[in-house]
Amino acid sequence: MRVTQASTGRKIIAAAERRMRECGFHGFSFRDIAADVGIKSASVHHHFPTKEDLGAAVASAYTKRLMDALGDPNDPVRMPEDLIELYVDLYRRALQKGKGRQTCLGGVIACELASLPENVARAGVEFFESSAGWLEAVLRRRSPQAEPEATRAQALRILALLQGATLIAKTLDREDVFEVVAKSALE
Amino acid sequence: MRVTQASTGRKIIAAAERRMRECGFHGFSFRDIAADVGIKSASVHHHFPTKEDLGAAVASAYTKRLMDALGDPNDPVRMPEDLIELYVDLYRRALQKGKGRQTCLGGVIACELASLPENVARAGVEFFESSAGWLEAVLRRRSPQAEPEATRAQALRILALLQGATLIAKTLDREDVFEVVAKSALE
DNA sequence: GTCTATAATTTGATAGAC
DNA sequence: GTCTATCAAATTATAGAC
């Protein structure tokens, strides 16, 4: 069994991600994070001087974790159909792991966009671009002869569907809403 | 030409809705709203004693405005297909009117849910339930013989699609993303 | 790297005059 | 109904001891 190092910096990022996905960027404070981790707020500032630094670190770690979990969209060993299922499954597991209380970080950034520090907003753009790009590559493999615009549209459709499904499932506290909607992403 | 009364209360709600849909519930202050309307923050409190009152008023006015614009889903004069187009068009116009900077209020409430006052969170639940219920009624007319679960699923699918499309279009500052995704809502 | 202490600002909210 | 003035609390952030 592999033990992953949980340094204080990582614990802070994990706590901030959870808070951000439950409450939004303006919905938590350095003191909240400090209490979650079991330290004082001044110590949080030692690791991430400003809230912008913390938010940007959370968002880029989030994107990296997702992209690492997805892997190479052109990996010949994996079928495009399986990769799309993998994509849907990552959203499903994120919802379950957060007990239906967390939305995708991309959605959070979208909703607060105009009030976010520059680097956090930019990380949101990168998240959506990475996600859409990965899906596009997978769909291109599945239908190589399709029009590029149609492939792009299909990628955005899947992304939008999962984003929306997560929002609704969270608000109505009905994880089955996610399942019902996600099924149509595979069509 | 009909002149709509723009009382101070209404102006406050309009300003707060805009701020909330651009920045989130925690992304604006009473002073921001006061400046938008051209009064002082104490005067805003006169109309809406607490921020919870203001947020709940914004959300219920928002839901009411949407449902009024949608009208009776069982109106025999209007074809179900046209009603779905009307629904999509309301999202489209909301995005255009806000110059691509505003998301649906339902999505905002979803993202900040755990940090919102009770009445604001509840208004978000009501928004999604009203929306899904209206769509369900329209789709039932279009396919009366369909399984109720399938009709419900289709309604949630359209709702999720438009929610997600709005988030992505706002973040990437690409209104065409909305068009590309919304097209598949009509299928 | 963590702590105590505190600065500087903002925020939601109230009292009371006009 | 709007204003000035103000409060109490919370927030981000820093200084400096250990």
The 10s digit of each residue's pLDDT in B162-171 is 999 999 999 9
Chain B residues close to A177, C-beta within 8 Å = 156
Chain A residues close to B184, C-beta within 8 Å = 153, 157
**Does A117 touch chain B if contact means CB atoms closer than 8 Å?**
no
CA B74 / C1′ C11 distance in Å:
47
**Does B174 touch chain A if contact means CB atoms closer than 8 Å?**
no
Residues 6+ apart with CB under 8 A from B138: B73, B80, B83, B84, B87
**Does B126 touch chain A if contact means CB atoms closer than 8 Å?**
no
Q: Which residue of A has its CA nearest to B158?
A: A161
Nearest nucleotide, CA A9 to C1': C1
Nearest nucleotide, CA A7 to C1': C1
Q: What is the mean pLDDT of residues B54-77?
A: 98
The 10s digit of each residue's pLDDT in B9-25 is 999 999 999 999 999 99
Amino acid letter, A60:
S
Nucleotides of strand D lying closer than 7 angstroms to a protein CB: 1-5, 10-16
Nucleotides of strand C lying closer than 7 angstroms to a protein CB: 1-5, 10-16
CA B54 / C1′ C15 distance in Å:
21
**A4 has a pLDDT exceeding 90:** no
**Does A26 touch chain B if contact means CB atoms closer than 8 Å?**
yes
Residue nearest D15, CA–C1′ metric: A42
The number of beta carbons lying within 10 Å of the beta carbon of residue B118 is 9
Tell me, yes or no, if the pTM score tops 0.75.
yes
Q: What is the DSSP string of A24-58?
A: -GGG--HHHHHHHHTS-HHHHHHHSSSHHHHHHHH
The pLDDT > 90 percentage for chain A reads 96
B156 and A181: CB-CB below 8 Å?
Answer: yes
**Does B112 touch chain A if contact means CB atoms closer than 8 Å?**
yes
**B175 has a pLDDT exceeding 90:** yes
Q: How confident is the model at residue B6 (pLDDT cuts 50, 70, 90)?
A: confident
The 10s digit of each residue's pLDDT in A20-76 is 999 999 999 999 999 999 999 999 999 999 999 999 999 999 999 999 999 999 999
The number of beta carbons lying within 10 Å of the beta carbon of residue B25 is 29
**A134 has a pLDDT exceeding 80:** yes
CA A8 / C1′ C3 distance in Å:
15
What is chain B's mean pLDDT, rounded? 96
**B2 has a pLDDT exceeding 70:** no
